[in-house]
Structure 1
Amino acid sequence: MSTSEYFCLEFGRITCVFNVERLRALHALAAHGSVALAASALHVTPSGVSQQLAKLERETGHQLLEQHGRGVRLTAAGHVLAKHASEILSRMSEARSDLEGLSEEILGPLRIGSISTVLRAVVPGALSALHRRHPRLEVTLREGEAEETIPALVRRDLDLAVLESWDRRPAQLPAEVSYRRLCTDTADVALPEQHRLAHRSTVALHELADTPWVSWASDTACHEWLVQTLRSQGFEPRVTCNVAGYPTQLELVAANLAGALVPRLARDSVPAGVAIVRTRPVLQRQVLALWRTDSERPAIRACVDALAAVTEQQTLVAPHDQQ
């Protein structure tokens, strides 16, 4: 964006004209908490952000920043203007979305963050179909859980986030986002074939109180969901392995080291030595696609449609066929 773009704000009888790029720098500082992180989010140098903020202070006639330890923080005036900056950027984003909606061609950048299971099972097919239909759409993709992608979406670092929301641990969705449910996915228990209950078609979770478990890292929502789910069945789970990625978890199950709770979308293949058993109660999650309501545009709608189409094909596979 050119630094010659300006926005007018009226405060009573006073009209103020602000440089949009400087407002963007202030908004980034308020969102990220430091000049260095703001610069990283804006893909500029820290000195560039500092220069923009210094010019903004001169334009407003107010001190917007003050020293705080080795860094800076917003003053009262800085917080007031940062709030307006957020609203201005939101209105500009809405305007762009409305203008893009007038064009039939879908193009430009689209930044997506997705959980690993959907990234592996759904996203490649969806993006391939999207590229065939809209070759001028420039997609960038990164893996991440909801605790990473939702804040990035709110900060406008992402345009679209694909995440999970478990029935027993629903995702907390901010007021400024819209979403579409892509599918309902079920998790079953993966047990070593040597396990005493591996021959069963269904197992009550409380029957697995003596089973060691493999889970995700202890600071993730996936780990918290597993622990909360098993605690609700009357026992404290003994987690012996913390590993990211269901394929690796299934290999540990095959090695007779632990049991795991694995969603069906994550089971494109099951290694020898693993028995997949349905659980009682049934464990389900919603797979959601999220975007900022004020930034909805044709590219986002086209991508969500592509994700939904591939997800529908994946979930048509019968549970027994996925074992």
Structure 2
Amino acid sequence: MSLISSLKKSVSPLVLATVFLAMPACSQAEQVDPAQAPVEQAAAPEVAEAPAPNAPVDQAEVVASVEEGVTEQAAEDVESSRRAVLEDAVEALEHTEKALAALQSEDRETAIDELALAAGKLDIVLARDPELAFAPFDVTTSVQDVLVDVDTVRELGREIRKLVDDRKFQEARLLMDTFGSELTIRTYSLPLATYPDAIKHAAALLDDGNDAEAIGVLESALNTIVVEDRIVPLPLLRAQAMMNIAQGILDGEIEIEGDRTERLTSLQNNAAYQIELAKAFGYGERSTFRSLERSLEELEKKIEDGADTGSVFDAIRRQIEQLRTENTKE
């Protein structure tokens, strides 16, 4: 079963986030003294990229061979996020929604009862961990996967950069929407700094007979949800899966048919290419990529020399994990 069929789910439209950008007001009649006008800074020269490497001739075959390992690792990542979901937070949200529905049906008594239950669940969450800022209540996943070459990704990146430089932001956004090869793990959480107070405020408004205001407070609370996206770059997962197989072969844990050195070289070359893809997509800091590339080169030399590779595999694993941690955003 492929990664997409195993993991792809629709993302529930629970939240609409609005960002306001503060822009200086300027009327058409305003005159600007050229002597006082800000001087535009020349764009910094781009660092010349090395020529894009050719895709290994066996890329499709090797990628397919590690698909099971990639799916397993992706499933572990999703499960780790699901384990963070707090059942009390789920129930607090459900009671809030029931309270709102009851109020909209003019059933005040049920609304008050549901708000009391919601407040109680939130008190439990805070009692267990007073320092907790967000209480996760749901996790969804989506997959965007492409098998492309580095040169194509770089060219698309240059096109996006040019559109942004030309202030054609909407055209750039359309390209950015499909610019990636990744699993997105989205976690929805209740903000504990404001959500419990909103529930209590709504209950107080009901006690005072201000039902309409209570409805507004609850609607606002339900729309004030924290969303965190954890991006898992698939090229990095594939590179790690390839390195796991290579290490297994070297340690004698995996038996293969055919030439051992040829198989190891293929895995190393394909892993290096997946790293180039991840870098072209911008999944992480260039300094981390440089360290990882040096480790892959060291691994290639150690394999050729028949030297111990344990420490190199450990370094590669750490560096890939570092790149993965650089792809979590709120």
Q: TM exceeds 0.5?
A: no
> Which of structures 1 and 2 has the bigger CA Rg?
2
Q: TM-score, normalised by structure 1?
A: 0.22
Higher percent of residues as strand = 1
Q: TM-score, normalised by structure 2?
A: 0.22
Higher percent of residues as helix = 2
